[in-house]
Structure 1
Amino acid sequence: MSRASPLPRLPWGRPSMKAVVTAGLLVTMLWNLKCFINSSNISGKAPKHTKPLVVLVWEWPSNQVPNISGDICYELYSIEGCWLTMEQQLLHRADVVVFPHTRLQQGRDKLPREKPPGQNWVWVSLESPTNTKALTGWNQTFNWVMTYRRDSDIFIPYGKLVPNRSATMNIPMKTNLVSWVISNYHRTQKRAEVYKNLSRYLHVNIYGKASKNPLCKDCLLPTTSKSKFYLAFENSIHQDYITEKLWRNSLMAGTVPVVLGPARANYEQFIPADSFIHVDDFSSLAELATFLKTMNSSRYQQFFVWQKKYSVKLYADWRERICTICAMYPSLPQGRVYPNLESWFNS
C-alpha cells in the first residue's frame, strides 16, 4: 500500500497565500474605517450635527425685527437643520450666538455674563472701519467674524452677480447724463470733494435725504435708471467695501456705475472689468467728465454686455444673512478666538 505524499510545506516564516489575502483584506478594512472617521470629523472643523443647529441672534441687526419662529432657514432658503431664535433664555442651548456690532456699541454689558463651553460667538458688521465705533476692548471674545470682507469667516456681500441663462441685455430709456442719491453728506468725505470738483464740468442730478429732491420709497430705481451714469461713491474707502450703491442703485437700475471706492482690481473681483468706470481711470476729473459727455451709443452699450450672462442678486434680508451661518457651519474653524478684533478689522 502506497503511502500518501505529504502536502508541500512553505519554508519557515513565509506566509501562505491564504494568510496574505486575509491580511490584505484586514488592511483594506482598517484603511476604509480610518477614511470614514476622518471624513466625519475633520480636525479643526465642526462635526456633523445630528440635531438642529441652534443659532441665537442676541439682538436683531436692524430696527425691523421679523418673526423668525419656526424652521425659517428651510422655509425661505432650503437650508436644513437650522433653528434661528431670539429668545435669550435659550443661551445655554445655542450652538452659535450672533452679536451685531450696532447693538454692542454701548459696551460689554450687552453681552451675556458667561459663555457656555463649546459655544461659538459671531461678530457681525456691514459698516466699514471708518464708520464702526467702539471696537476697542473686544479681545478674546469672538470666534468668528461676519462682514462684507472676503477674508471673513462668514462672507456677506451687499450683492453679487449670478449666472442667468435666460438673461438679455436691457438698457432703460435715458433722459439725463449723471445722477447721485445721497443720504448722508459730509464735506470731509472724499466723495464730497470728488462730487464738488466733478460738478464743475458737468451737471449731476442729486436726489435723496441730503438733497432738495427726496425720493419716495419705491422711486429709487425708476429715478436712477433714467440716467446714463450713476455716481456709486462709497462713504469711505476700504478693501471689499462695495455697497448697494453699486449693486442696487446702478447695476440693478440699468445705469453705468462711476465708482469711487477701493482699487479697480478689487472691483474686478466682484464684477466684469467692462461693466463700470472707476474715477481712478482718469488723470483728472475734467478728463472723466469729457469721457462721460462724449461717449457714443455703441461704446455705451458695451457696458451692459454682462447682462447677457448675469443678473444682480441683492442681499437685503438679514434672515438670509444669518441663515448663511448654518450653511457654512461644517467648514468653519473650531476653537479659534480673535485676540484683537479692532486690529483685524482695521488691517
Structure 2
Amino acid sequence: MRDTGLSLARSLRGVGALASAALLAALWLLWLLQSAPGAAPAPRPTLTILIWHWPFTKQPPELPSNTCTSYGVAHCRLTTDRSLLASADAVVFHHRELQTQRARLPLADRPPGQPWVWASMESPSHTHGLDRLRGIFNWVLSYRRDSDIFVPYGRLEPREGPAPPLPAKNGVATWVVSNFQERQRRVQLYRQLAPHMRVDVFGRANRQPLCADCLLPTVARYLFYLSFENSQHRDYITEKFWHNALAAGTVPVVLGPSRATYEAFAPPDAFVHVDDFSSARELAAFLTGMNQSYYRRYFAWRDRLQLRLFRDWRERFCAICTHYPHLPRGQVYQDLKGWFQG
C-alpha cells in the first residue's frame, strides 16, 4: 500500500507540473501573438468626461459622439449629462461658476476615487474663493505650463506652405480694451506712452467697440498692437498676444510675464517686451523710430512657423483624454490657492 500511495503522489505531482507548464506555454503564446507585428491591439475604452457646467453659459453646445475626434482625440466622449456622475471617468468644474456660486460641487454624491478637474483660464487676480476648494481636486486644467492638463491660448507650430503676405499698414499702434481701470499696470503704462506716441484705442473703454469680425482687420492696419495683460502672472499670455496681435499680422508690444516666459512660447524676435526699456518714453521712441527693414525682422518666424489658436472649450476639455493615461492617480491639491497664486 505504501508503494501504491507513493506512485499515486508522484503521478499527481507529474500531472500538476504538466498543467503548470501548459498554462505557462499558453500565456507565452498569448504574449507572442499580442506583440507580434501586425497583431490587432486591444481596443481602447472610450473615456467619459463629464462637464458639470459649461463655462460662461447656461446653454452648453451640442456634443455629438465625434466631438473630440474632430480635434484629433479618439476614444473620448464629452457630456453635460449629470446623471452620468457615477460612471464618468473624470468630472470637470469651471471655476467661474463655482466662484459666483451658480454651480455647486456634488460632494455627497462623488464616487470614491473619481478624478475631479479644476478648470480656469483666468489669472489669479480674477480668481477668488479658492480657500473653499482645499483637498477636493485631483487635476488642474489651465494655461499654466505646470498644470496637469496644459492648455495655452495659442502656440506656434511648424509651417505648412508659404506664409500669407503681411497686411498693409497705415497706423503706428492700437489697443483694444474694455476693462479699463486706473489701478491696472497696463492703464498706467498707456497713460505714460500717450504723450510720446499716438495709440488708437478701441473697445468699450473708449466707447468704440469692435464687432467680432472687425477686430482683426482693424488691428491689421497698425504696425504695433499693445498686448497688455490685465494682470501679470506666471505664464499668463492670453488672446491679446496670440489672436489680437499675431493672428492680425502685427507686432505685439507685450506687458505680462517676463521676457523669458514669452520666449518659451515664441521666438525672441516675434515681439517687443516693455521690460526691455527703462521708460515709456524710451519705448515710444523705439517704436516710432523703427525703419521698415528692421520692422520686417519681427516677422521672420512666419517663414517657418504658423499660429494655432485654442479658443474652443470643447477642444480644451478633449485634451483631458489625451493626458488621462499619464495623469497622477491619487493626487489631491490640498492648497489649490497656494499653488495657483504661487
Q: Distance in 1 between matches of 2:74 and 2:65?
A: 12
RMSD: 2.0
Q: Which amino acid aligns with 1:87?
A: D
Write the letter of the residue equivalent to 1:54.
T
Deviation readout 1:69-102 (Å, 9 max, x if unpaired): 323212x123211111101011001010000001
Establish whether residue 309 from structure 1 lines up as the match of residue 307 from structure 2: no
Counterpart residue identity of residue 216, structure 1: C
- The aligned residue for residue 330 of structure 1 is 325
Structure 2 residue 284 is the aligned partner of structure 1 residue 271: no
Name the structure 1 match of 2:119: 124
Q: Deviations over 1:296-326 (max 9, x none)?
A: 0100000000110111111111100000001
Q: CA deviation at 1:331?
A: 0.8
Which structure 2 residues correspond to residues 19-34 of structure 1 after superposition, within 5 A?
none
Distance 1:92 1:190 in 2: 46
Structure 1, unmatched stretches of 5+, are 1-25, 37-47
**In structure 1, which of residues 149, 170, 173 is the aligned counterpart of residue 165 of structure 2?**
170
Partner of 2:17: none
Q: Summarize the Cα distance change of 1:299–1:323 in structure 2 as closer, same or farther, 3 Å threshold.
A: same
Residues 109 and 192 from structure 1, CA distance in 2 versus in 1: closer, same or farther, beyond 3 angstroms?
closer
% identity of equivalent residues: 49
1:118-141 Cα shifts (integer Å, max 9, x gaps): 310000000000010111121110
Q: Which TM-score applies when normalising by structure 1?
A: 0.84
Structure 2 Cα separation of the partners of residues 153 and 232 of structure 1:
27
> What displacement does 1:212 show?
2.8
The yes-or-no answer on 1:98 pairing with 2:77 is no
1:176 to 1:289, Cα distance in 2 relative to 1, 3 A: same
Confirm or deny that 1:259 pairs with 2:258: no
Is the CA contact 1:95–1:118 (under 8 Å) kept in the aligned structure 2?
Answer: no
Amino acid at match of 2:194: S
| 1:217, distance to aligned residue in structure 2 (A) | 2.3
Distance across 2 between alignment mates of 1:212 and 1:107: 31
Helix, strand or coil for the counterpart of 1:228? strand
Structure 2 CA distance for partners of 1:306 and 1:118, relative to 1, 3 Å: same
Shift of 1:108: 10
Letter in 1 for 2:80: M
Equivalence for 1:78: 72
CA 1:289 to 1:108, structure 2 compared with 1: closer, same or farther past 3 Å? closer
Q: What TM-score, normalized by structure 2, do the two folds share?
A: 0.85
Are positions 1:188 and 2:183 aligned together?
yes
Out of 53, 58, 66, the position equivalent to 2:61 is: 66
Q: Could you tell me how far apart the structure 2 residues matched to 1:101 and 1:223 are?
A: 33
SS of structure 2 residue aligned to 1:304 = helix
Tell me if structure 1 keeps the 8 A contact 2:56–2:97.
no
- Displacement of 1:216 in angstroms is 1.8
Structure having the larger proportion of residues in helix: 2
User: Contact 1:167–1:311 (CA<8 Å) still a contact in 2?
Assistant: no
Alignment match of 1:53 (pick from 35, 47, 55): 47
